[in-house]
């Protein structure tokens, strides 16, 4: 773990628990002055003290990695760096201090920035002709899942109870077991037929579940699992939705559908069995998907949820992006600091994977701060609904900290030290001077312009002023 992040995380956790430095230091068996040095990153934390910190603050060791502070810092740097705000430059040290020392204030700043972006977009003509303002319910839903590390124990329990009751014997028989459960317990008949502009349609009056004939087998199974979750896990899902307290009906529905999808994934890929298979197969996700009879994306999505206390999997981030760079799914159990606004780095395997469809591409990605991740990505294509319609193509990408590379098959044969590719969060936040793929100059640097010289990189810039 990064030493520079431990202190800020310890300080945040201490403040959240209303502990004074003296009280926490006494519990740890160290002096208050020594704890103060740790919180200001002026002393390293030994392994034994790290364990004591986790026990005293009642957190998992991974929570001391600084991932939350890091994500806040990325968001703040993006907000403060927005040229349209016309704000003075905020020094890096102040950004770090705000994220670490006042995390609630930092989140409030980001909430205000998001609201300002919505208002700015409306002012630029994105408001609907009716006058109704376009809001961003997808961002609210995404924050809900991110804040909970995309793991919901009560929904896991509901899915496991259903899976145990179905008892299909082997994963390959789960689809049949779900269809029988729908028919026998709920009187729901499942048919596969042509559907106009839909992949699934349920009629409560006739209790008919129609699935599009364009859906592949694994997608039909997931839609049946979703329907069963809708009928039998509603109480657990609604309790989670109530806890979320979404601000709009659109955000509420997105969260509800996301939670039902979560239960469906847990039903098709029960936690303990999936965790064991992922570990045994060393996270070869095509092999894992084949074992459970699910799609590659479904298996990858499920892998990002394995954060049960006492039975955690390797922390992975999960991303789904289209050829235009639009992110439609994003979870970061691995602590990868996604840029919230704007495009990501074109050197990242997430984007280069489009050049080689259907093949898993692997990359060791190193961020400017030295954090390094083993990343893998593959294209997925959805079926066209009619002739002439382009097939929707996305890239599904996952990654984990390089420290976990030995547990992942995709790292086999790689030189973990020499094969690293330097990437940034986005061009405007990256200060790598030698990047030939840069689309924009970094916000915190002044351009160095010389008509007598044509550089190898699109933009040359001066070192950041301190």
Position 2 confidence tier, pLDDT thresholds 50, 70, 90: very low
Instruction: Give per-residue pLDDT as tens, 444-456.
Output: 666 777 777 777 7
Q: Which of 238, 157, 219 is nearest to 382 (CA)?
A: 219
Q: Domain 157-268 adopts which CATH fold?
A: Arc Repressor Mutant, subunit A (1.10.10)
φ, ψ of residue 424 to 5 degrees: the values are -125, 170
Q: What is the 3-state secondary structure (H, E, C) of the chain?
A: CCHHHHHHHHHHHHHHCCCCHHHHHHHHCCCHHHHHHHHCCCCCCCHHHHHHHHHHHCCCHHHHHCHHHHHHHHHHHHHHCCHHHCCCCCCHHHHHHHHHHCHHHHHHHHHHHHHHHHHHHHHHHHCCCCCCCCCCHHHHHHHHHHHCCCCCHHHHHHHHHHHHHHCCCCHHHHHHHHHHHHHHHHCCEEEEECCCCCCEEEECCCCEEEEECCCCHHHHHHHHHHHHHHHHCHHHHHHHHHHHCCCCHHHHHHHHHHHHHHHHHHHHCCHHHHHHHHHHCCCCHHHHHHHHCCCHHHHHHHHCCCEECCEECCCCEEEEECCCCCEEEEEECCCCCCCCCCCCCCCCHHHHHHHCCCCCEEEEEECCCCCEEEEEEEEEECCCCCCCCCCCEEEEEEEEEHHHHHHCHHHCCCCCCCCEEECCCCHHHCCCCCCCCCCCCCCCCCECCCCCCCCCCCCCECCCCC
CB 320 within 8 A of CB 327: yes
Instruction: Give per-residue pLDDT as tens, 346-394.
Output: 889 999 999 999 999 999 999 888 889 999 999 999 888 778 888 899 9
Instruction: Give per-residue pLDDT as tens, 75-94.
Output: 787 778 776 666 677 887 88
pLDDT score recorded for residue 463: 62
Pick 45 or 229 by higher pLDDT: 229
- Other C-beta atoms within 10 Å of 178: how many? 27
Judged against a pLDDT cut of 80, whether residue 429 lies above it is answered with: no
Position 173 confidence tier, pLDDT thresholds 50, 70, 90: confident
Judged against a pLDDT cut of 60, whether residue 124 lies above it is answered with: no
Position 291 confidence tier, pLDDT thresholds 50, 70, 90: very high
Position 442 confidence tier, pLDDT thresholds 50, 70, 90: confident
pTM: 0.74
User: Which residues neighbour 143 within 8 Å (Cβ) at sequence distance 6 or greater?
Assistant: none
Q: What is the CATH number of domain 3-124?
A: 1.10.260.40
Judged against a pLDDT cut of 50, whether residue 1 lies above it is answered with: no
Instruction: Give per-residue pLDDT as tens, 138-153.
Output: 878 888 888 788 899 9
The first and second tokens of residue 322, run together, are 């289209």
Position 133 confidence tier, pLDDT thresholds 50, 70, 90: very low
pLDDT score recorded for residue 407: 96
Judged against a pLDDT cut of 70, whether residue 4 lies above it is answered with: no
pLDDT score recorded for residue 464: 61
Pick 331 or 285 by higher pLDDT: 285
Q: Where do the structural domains in the chain lie, given as residue ranges?
A: 3-124, 157-268, 311-429
The first and second tokens of residue 155, run together, are 């929904």
CB 227 within 8 A of CB 185: no
pLDDT score recorded for residue 125: 39
Over residues 389-412, mean pLDDT: 93
Average pLDDT, the chain: 84
Please report, for residues 57, 162, 343, the alpha-carbon distance to residue 139 in angstroms, rounded to integers and kept in the order given: 30, 31, 16
pLDDT score recorded for residue 444: 65
Instruction: Give per-residue pLDDT as tens, 223-267.
Output: 999 999 999 999 999 999 998 888 888 889 999 999 999 999 999
pLDDT score recorded for residue 257: 95
Q: How far apart are CA 361 and CA 415, in angstroms?
A: 15
Instruction: Give per-residue pLDDT as tens, 292-314.
Output: 999 999 999 999 999 888 898 99
pLDDT score recorded for residue 18: 85
Pick 359 or 345 by higher pLDDT: 359
Q: Which of 384, 377, 407, 393 is nearest to 300 (CA)?
A: 377
Pick 435 or 252 by higher pLDDT: 252
Over residues 416-430, mean pLDDT: 83
The first and second tokens of residue 333, run together, are 């159990």
**Interhelix angle 296-303/285-292, nearest 10 degrees:** 100
Pick 320 or 42 by higher pLDDT: 320
Q: How far apart are CA 436 and CA 456, in angstroms?
A: 7
Say which CATH architecture domain 311-429 belongs to: 2-Layer Sandwich (3.30)
Over residues 173-202, mean pLDDT: 93
């Amino acid at each position: 773990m990064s030493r520079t992040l431990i202190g800020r995380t310890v300080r945040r956790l201490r403040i959240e628990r209303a502990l004074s430095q003296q009280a926490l230091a006494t519990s740890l068996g160290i002096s208050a002055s020594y704890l103060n040095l740790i919180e200001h990153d002026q002393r390293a934390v030994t392994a034994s003290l790290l364990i004591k910190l986790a026990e005293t603050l009642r957190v998992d060791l991974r929570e001391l990695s600084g991932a939350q502070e890091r994500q806040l810092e990325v968001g703040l740097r993006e907000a403060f760096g927005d040229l349209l705000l016309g704000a003075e430059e905020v020094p890096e040290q102040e950004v770090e201090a705000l994220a670490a020392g006042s995390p609630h204030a930092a989140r409030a700043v980001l909430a205000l920035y998001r609201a300002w972006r919505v208002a700015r977009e409306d002012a630029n003509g994105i408001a609907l002709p009716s006058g109704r303002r376009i809001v961003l319910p997808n961002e609210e839903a995404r924050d809900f899942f991110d804040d909970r590390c995309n793991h919901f124990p009560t929904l896991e329990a509901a899915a496991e109870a259903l899976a145990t009751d179905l008892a299909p014997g082997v994963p390959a028989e789960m689809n049949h077991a779900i269809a029988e459960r729908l028919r026998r317990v709920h009187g729901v008949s499942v048919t596969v037929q042509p559907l106009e502009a839909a992949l699934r349609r349920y009629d409560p009056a006739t209790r008919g579940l129609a699935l599009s004939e364009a859906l592949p087998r694994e997608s039909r199974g997931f839609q049946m699992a979703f329907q069963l979750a809708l009928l039998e896990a509603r109480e657990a899902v609604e309790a989670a939705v109530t806890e979320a307290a979404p601000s709009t009906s659109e955000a509420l529905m997105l969260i509800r559908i996301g939670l039902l999808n979560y239960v469906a994934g847990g039903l098709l890929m029960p936690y303990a069995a999936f965790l064991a298979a992922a570990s045994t197969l060393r996270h070869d996700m095509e092999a894992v998907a084949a074992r459970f009879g699910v799609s590659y994306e479904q298996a990858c999505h499920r892998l990002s949820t394995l954060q049960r206390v006492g039975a955690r999997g390797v922390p992975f981030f999960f991303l789904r992006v289209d050829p235009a760079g639009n992110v439609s799914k994003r979870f970061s159990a691995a602590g990868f600091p996604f840029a919230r606004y704007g495009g990501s780095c074109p050197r990242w395997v997430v984007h280069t994977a489009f050049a080689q469809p259907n093949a898993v591409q692997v990359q060791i990605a190193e961020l400017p701060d030295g954090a390094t991740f083993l990343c893998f990505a593959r294209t997925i294509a959805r079926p066209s609904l009619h002739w002439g319609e382009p097939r929707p193509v996305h890239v599904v990408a996952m990654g984990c900290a390089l420290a976990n590379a030995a547990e992942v098959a995709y790292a086999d044969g790689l030189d973990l030290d020499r094969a690293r590719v330097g990437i940034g969060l986005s061009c405007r936040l990256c200060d790598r001077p030698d990047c030939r793929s840069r689309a924009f100059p970094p916000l915190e640097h002044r351009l160095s312009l010389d008509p007598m010289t044509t550089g190898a990189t699109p933009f040359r810039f001066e070192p950041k002023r301190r």
